[in-house]
Amino acid sequence: MTHREERGNHVRSAKAIAFPTLISLLVLTACGDRGLDPDSVARAGDFRLSVEEVAEMVAPVGEVPNEIEVVEAVTDFWTEFVLLAWAANGEGELDRLDLDTLLEQQEMQLIISSLREEVIQMDAEISDEELLRLFEEERMGEQVRARHILLFHPAGATDAQRDSVYALAEELRDRARAGESFAALAEQYSGDMGSAEAGGDLDYFSRGALVPAFEEVAFALQEGEVSDVVETEFGLHVIRLEDRRILDFDELEGGLRSEIQRTRVAQAESTYLADLEGPANVQIADDAEELLREIAGNPGRTLGRRDAARALTTYEGGGFTAEEFRQFVLNQPSQVRQQIEMIPPEQVEELLRTLTRDELLLEDARRRGIAIDPSRLEELEEEIRGEYLRIAEFLDLDSIEPEEGESLGEAIDREVKELLTQLVRGDRDLAPLGGLAIPLRNLYPTQISEAGLDRAVTRIAERRTEEGVGDVFGPPDGAGTTSEPPPTVPDSPGREEPPLP
């Protein structure tokens, strides 16, 4: 069994996971061992990254877990940074980058933004009298301060496990109601690491700040009252109301005016979208989910003419095809690709409707004659090329000078490995390339060896043993792992209709 198959989720401190969690910011690259020697983990252009070099960077830092995700992160950052350094230092290399895909995305956003300005026409002015009336009627100045205990269900929990967690929540509720310190219970039991250390204290918050199910109960409690068990998408909560206050109108006037204006604009946008999508009669193909997952799992595979033309969705006058979806996936960062491949069935339709809505928006923009001036697109292209240089400068990769006897390539290799060593140790801030990595990877050949990744994990473990470096999280065997606890209760999703994308 490989380390990739053995990987598990560990509960880690924020400091310890700061580096590995950046994996989600990377762009996927080709995998496979063909053309790579057994001691190599990856190649990018003419550069090579060896198993031993990865081990030299990671092994001395025991706080960084020895897991396949960490090695993948190091490898991907190395790939992006050597390509960036070569493009920034090689004469004329930046001009060779094909930015058409990035420009198309920027152009689409500019068109939709222009469409938004044209179709959302409303009186944004709110008189002082109307603002005061809304403040009083909707109790906009009311805030509560609450504590909570959050219990979450294990990933893939059985009914028995869910019942057990619910029973514990009820037990904690009863103990709090019987007079036991709520703060002490929260510190001991709450899975919300952000508030548990403060005894579950969430401080003061207004309506609309947290998820609806949670805040509905919180605002209905009396001071000192402990709630029944409340279930949200994050888990089970027991809530205690600490205090309630009403802020003065004069103190909130400016912010309230802006908030109401934003709400009205969002409502107007929602109405426009409904009027646009309703007559279009968007339909999802019966085999859309199967085809979507097949493409997301291997977007690099070219589709045959027949498959490329298959419609994932149809609407009056058109449709969103499999090839259009493949192009969309190809131009997304890795976290988006992974999310698409793994999204639950109920979210597949939502994704397809969102992508189809973008098509409808662009068609409406064309009907209205909305277009972006070519000079603006030329400016955007220059701004994007300038962004490569700004990131290279931030990472000290913009003006690499070879030492005596070194070639430029050797100097870049040395500088990038020193940069990665600093990043692994936590001595440098990171500037991920995100979508800017795509043109680099398209211009220069890249490859990652899955076997090399596993060998690097093994070698890191060997070096830590040899050098007496303690692995804070133990070997990557997945034993005794638990699911990641969810974060503090976040802003309420779906409280307002989202703006046009």
Lowest mean pLDDT across 180-194, 264-278, 439-453: 264-278
Q: Is residue 233 part of a domain?
A: yes
Domain end call among 246, 279, 314 = 246
Q: What is the pLDDT of residues 198-235, one digit of tens each?
A: 999 999 998 778 899 999 999 999 999 999 999 998 99
Say which residue, 325 or 482, is predicted with more confidence.
325
Say which residue, 266 or 460, is predicted with more confidence.
460
Q: Do 75 and 161 fall within a single domain?
A: no
Q: Do 95 and 148 fall within a single domain?
A: no
With cut-offs at 50, 70 and 90, classify the pLDDT of residue 334. Answer: low
Residue 283: the pLDDT is: 94
Question: Strand 283-284 relative to strand 235-246: parallel, antiparallel, unpaired?
Answer: unpaired
Residue 245: the pLDDT is: 86
Domain end call among 196, 215, 246 = 246
Who contacts 107 (Cβ-Cβ below 8 Å, separation ≥6)?
A: 372, 377, 380
Of all residues in the chain, the percent with pLDDT exceeding 90 is: 49
- pLDDT of residue 391 exceeding 60, the answer is yes
- pLDDT of residue 489 exceeding 50, the answer is no
Residue 485: the pLDDT is: 40
Q: Is residue 206 part of a domain?
A: yes
Lowest mean pLDDT across 317-326, 332-341, 452-461: 332-341
Q: Is residue 293 part of a domain?
A: no
Structural tokens at position 407: 């070639």
Q: Is residue 171 part of a domain?
A: yes
Q: What is the pLDDT of residues 87-127, one digit of tens each?
A: 999 888 999 999 988 898 889 989 998 998 888 765 556 77
Confirm if 434 and 25 have CB atoms less than 8 A apart.
Answer: yes
The whole-angstrom separation of Cα 341 and Cα 294 is: 8
Confirm if 447 and 36 have CB atoms less than 8 A apart.
Answer: yes
What element of type H or E holds 201? strand 201-206
Question: Burial level of 235, CB count in 10 A (0-12/13-18/19+)?
Answer: buried
User: What CATH number did the domain enclosing 242 receive?
Assistant: 3.10.50.40
Range of the domain at 220: 142-246
SS3 442: helix
Domain end call among 191, 216, 246 = 246
* Total domains in the fold of the chain: 2
Quote the pTM value.
Answer: 0.60
With cut-offs at 50, 70 and 90, classify the pLDDT of residue 22. Answer: very low
Give DSSP secondary structure letters for 252-271: HHHHHHHHHHHHHHHHHHHH
- pLDDT of residue 464 exceeding 90, the answer is yes
With cut-offs at 50, 70 and 90, classify the pLDDT of residue 370. Answer: very high
Q: Do 157 and 89 fall within a single domain?
A: no
Q: Is residue 57 part of a domain?
A: yes
Q: Is residue 7 part of a domain?
A: yes
- pLDDT of residue 54 exceeding 50, the answer is yes
Torsion of CA 30, 33, 39, 45, to 10 degrees: -40
- pLDDT of residue 473 exceeding 80, the answer is no
**Half-sphere CA count of 33, side-chain side, radius 13 A:** 10
- pLDDT of residue 354 exceeding 50, the answer is yes
Residue 412: the pLDDT is: 95
Nearest CA to 149 out of 135, 128, 170, 178 is that of 170
Say which residue, 474 or 86, is predicted with more confidence.
86
Say which residue, 149 or 33, is predicted with more confidence.
149
Lowest mean pLDDT across 405-409, 436-440, 490-494: 490-494
Question: Strand 40-44 relative to strand 446-448: parallel, antiparallel, unpaired?
Answer: antiparallel
Question: Burial level of 395, CB count in 10 A (0-12/13-18/19+)?
Answer: buried
- pLDDT of residue 432 exceeding 90, the answer is no
Confirm if 199 and 183 have CB atoms less than 8 A apart.
Answer: yes
- pLDDT of residue 478 exceeding 80, the answer is no
- pLDDT of residue 166 exceeding 90, the answer is yes
- pLDDT of residue 400 exceeding 90, the answer is yes
Give the residue-averaged pLDDT of 307-311.
Answer: 91
The whole-angstrom separation of Cα 231 and Cα 203 is: 20
Q: Is residue 316 part of a domain?
A: no
Q: Is residue 496 part of a domain?
A: no
Structural tokens at position 297: 């799992």
Average pLDDT, the chain: 82
